[in-house]
Structure 1
């Protein structure tokens, strides 16, 4: 059920032709766009999905999650549970603190976690991911700089905010936010990844659908008010979305405009939550508009550049460059010859690869069966790949780079490339797409894998046991 009112662009001061050009430019660009929603004056004036992606599917947001964690911190401060100037060490006991607390660690405050100015010289998340004792590891890391003096993007800092909130409230972050934010917004689909030590990860791992993220964008435009009720203090969002610290050392132009409390400042007086591989909640306060994008790209700046070139002029009432909009927005399966008949044997692989692939069988009818180990609980799931249109299946947990709360809906297709069986798998609740090229030589199968986006290497080769 729609939670935001719909309107024609013209009724909200926009041109349908201009928005068609914006959609055409997004479709023609290199970033793979999956869903888009645009709000103007509280109304949805544009909503598009590139088949087989769907606006109603929840989608893994990566670091857009941080802006929701910021919201929780603002609520907890309003409830008197903590303050910006509380020392980080004050929330943890001696069993988690290092034997010697350095001056810089002692000086680290909640505001430094929020503004990514903890004093660390690099993101701490890689160090945290090596062990289930993430809080203890964070507190034991060297703090090279005085907190507040250096901006370093740091997902581990957001994890610590979640840990602090869980200590104070006795609830995981998602449970704390459900009655205060998600339920009022109608976000019954929300899930959030939990660490091995039982803490909502905070800085990543939130999955919601496109309209829920649009509701969040509208909440920001309304300064925390929703349907006549002040859900989040207006003062908090004013501070969180303002430039709290400089970040001039960042490279891309829209990532060096300043940082707030888990929100990025952008060009043209915008601010946003954004997540890896092209997830955006981009707010235009001067134009009472918000743009929501889910996508799969390593060039997030390209999506913002398209917004500046085609959407911003439309919001300003200026002429927009004309770009033809396709009749159908889709990401079709790769085209190719039908796969050759297989030998029906099961080829097994060590399951510690980045997609958790444990076995492959190509049958005489040219259908491939791929078995994956669930990266969250070691259960196994089979995905069948055959020629033709996308084939929808369910395989929770089998997601590249992890993401145990997402990935239930998978679409597959296959084609033949000479003696190779080529399978394409789309985890459509995430940005991830895998292409697996399988060849048999004697008793051995080799699988050459390629991921469209990944935090790990995007290419790998597996050889059967």
Structure 2
């Protein structure tokens, strides 16, 4: 990408009131756009991109045998499920939580408003576990930040550390991430589904770790097999969303416009209101988008697909 080609993209980012857009290709910064100079130094609320960071920490803990294998039923951590009248809950595994297929009857926003309701309770974990099942565990993907909170509670139980302490030791320090904020629930468990604040550049570094199959400066922080599995299309997502879901990563693809060629597959972390960490392995590309201003009733724009993919395709 040359700077002349980037001018229309930068105009588009400005019009859309994007706070930051960072594109790194083959380890080189191609675009570093900030709406204001101070945005680079400020912590961004990454919302549900937190889920993909949590998945990385769970992956590390599974690799190190601190957390048991993905097929392990979560009753090992939440013995109270043994008293639940619905015995199907005893079938819920770590993998079901990671792929959002635990089966709980849950409407994140709208409908039951399960997510806001959870955050108003005195014990979020207990609230999630007490929800009735709508599906047999493992059969259907339903987006549920409660699953993420259970994973955060499991990580704390298994490591004996707070999730943030484990993150610092195992991932943030190696990646050079020194500045962050992370909210907690009433029990002091770090929020698994949202609530992490990072600088845009540190979001990009996290994406780069996944592009590099879990390797960073000669150290394998996450095994490449776990990175590959966790970012592969493990379950189809439910409308209104499209595509697939891995372990707290979304998976999609775009056509490269060449006849008889494959779709270009990519995986991404997505946060409410326009936070993205996008990894496109075949282009050796990481893209971060943050947006702090929210215009009421403005239609969401897929900045990556509408503005950035055309530039990738121009490169041939």
TM over 0.5: yes
1:17 paired residue number? 4
Deviations 1:306-357 (A, max 9, x none): 43243223223359xxxxxxxxxxxxxxxxxxxxxxxxxxxxxxxxxxxxxx
The answer as to 2:78 corresponding to 1:89 is no
Q: Which residue of 2 aligns with 1:453?
A: none
Structure 2 residue aligned with 1:310: 307
Secondary structure at 2:191 match in 1: coil
Query: CA 1:281–1:291 in 2, change beyond 3 Å: closer, same or farther?
Result: same
Structure 2's unaligned 5+ residue stretches are 109-113, 255-264
**Could you tell me how far apart the structure 2 residues matched to 1:300 and 1:63 are?**
19
Q: Aligned pair in 2 of structure 1 residues 86, 174: CA closer, same or farther (>3 Å)?
A: same
Q: Select which of 240, 246, 266 maps to 1:270.
A: 266
Whether the 8 Å CA contact 1:22–1:310 is kept in 2: the answer is yes
Query: Is 1:71 matched up with 2:61?
Result: no
| Cα distance change on mapping 1:300 and 1:86 into 2, 3 Å | farther
SS of match in other structure, 1:45: strand
Where in structure 2 are the equivalents of 1:49-448 lying within 5 Å? Answer: 49-51=34-36, 53-81=38-66, 82-94=68-80, 97=81, 99-122=83-106, 123=108, 124-247=114-237, 249-251=238-240, 255-268=241-254, 269-295=265-291, 296-297=293-294, 301-302=300-301, 304=302, 306-318=303-315
Structure 1 length as normaliser, TM-score?
A: 0.61
- Length-normalised TM-score, structure 2: 0.88
Question: Quick one: higher RCO (CA 8 Å, sep 6+), 1 or 2?
Answer: 2
TM-fit CA distance, 1:196: 0.8
Q: Which has the higher mean CA deviation after the structures are superposed, 189-198 or 130-139?
A: 130-139
The number of residue pairs the alignment matches comes to 296
Separation in structure 1 between the aligned mates of residue 163 and residue 270 of structure 2, nearest angstrom? 19
Q: Secondary structure at the match of 1:54?
A: helix
Quick one: distance in 2 between partners of 1:300 and 1:283? 24
- Residues 166-197 of structure 1 show CA distances to partners (whole Å, capped at 9, x for unaligned) of 01111111111111110111111022111111
- Take 1:309 and 1:201, find their aligned partners in 2: how far apart are those partners? 32
Task: Point out the more displaced range, 158-167 or 129-138.
Answer: 129-138
Q: RMSD between aligned alpha carbons?
A: 1.8
- The aligned residue for residue 20 of structure 2 is 35
Residue aligned with 1:57, SS: coil
Deviates more, 1:120-129 or 1:270-279: 120-129
CA distance in 2, matches of 1:216, 1:163: 22
Report the Cα distance in structure 1 between the residues aligned to 2:184 and 2:86, rounded to whole angstroms.
29
CA separation in 1, counterparts of 2:93 and 2:121? 24
SS at match of 1:33: coil
SS at match of 2:190: coil
- Structure 1 CA distance, aligned partners of 2:146 and 2:129? 10
Q: Secondary structure at the match of 1:267?
A: strand
* Contact 1:15–1:314 (CA under 8 A) maintained in structure 2: no
**C-alpha distance after superposition, 1:208-243 (max 9, x if no partner):** 101100101111110011111111111111111110
